[in-house]
Structure 1
């Protein structure tokens, strides 16, 4: 699989996913992803993307302006 942006090869790795709702920011660290070794763009598989959506929804409930979480600790 190749990167959509730069066409370079993707490798298994981890990425930091950032969600900005406008009033809150959620950062989820160490998310398993396919990462472009050239430009850093990352791609999530469907299962991980669904988990990320659920995690973000839960973390937004705490009303903190910025929330940082580690994927491996909350995606059980």
Structure 2
């Protein structure tokens, strides 16, 4: 394909840094440990690799998440999750 000046236009599709798959708008989930607390944030807007599911956040979204994580105790969670925990000995042997 060529632009109006007759120069070749590069592939405009954004690609994953890990596998080269195509990135498309979607959402992702972030799991962050704060001390002994697990904080889960769902439905984060992101560009998501269609091949390996790696998610890329915009700078604005990253800053907003950092701000939220600094004050998450001030917010009421949407819900609480029961999360099973296993030791390494249970999962890989000892």
Fold agreement, TM-score > 0.5: yes
Of Structure 1 and Structure 2, the greater strand share is in 1
- Say what the alpha-carbon RMSD is for the aligned residues: 1.8
Q: Which runs of 5+ in 2 are unaligned?
A: 1-13, 79-94
Unaligned runs of 5+ in 1: 70-76
Structure of larger gyration radius? 2
Write out the 4+ residue segments of structure 1 that deviate beyond 6 Å after TM superposition: none
Higher relative contact order structure (alpha carbons within 8 Å, sequence separation ≥ 6): 1
TM-score (norm 2): 0.61
TM-score w.r.t. the length of structure 1 is 0.74
Number of paired residues? 64
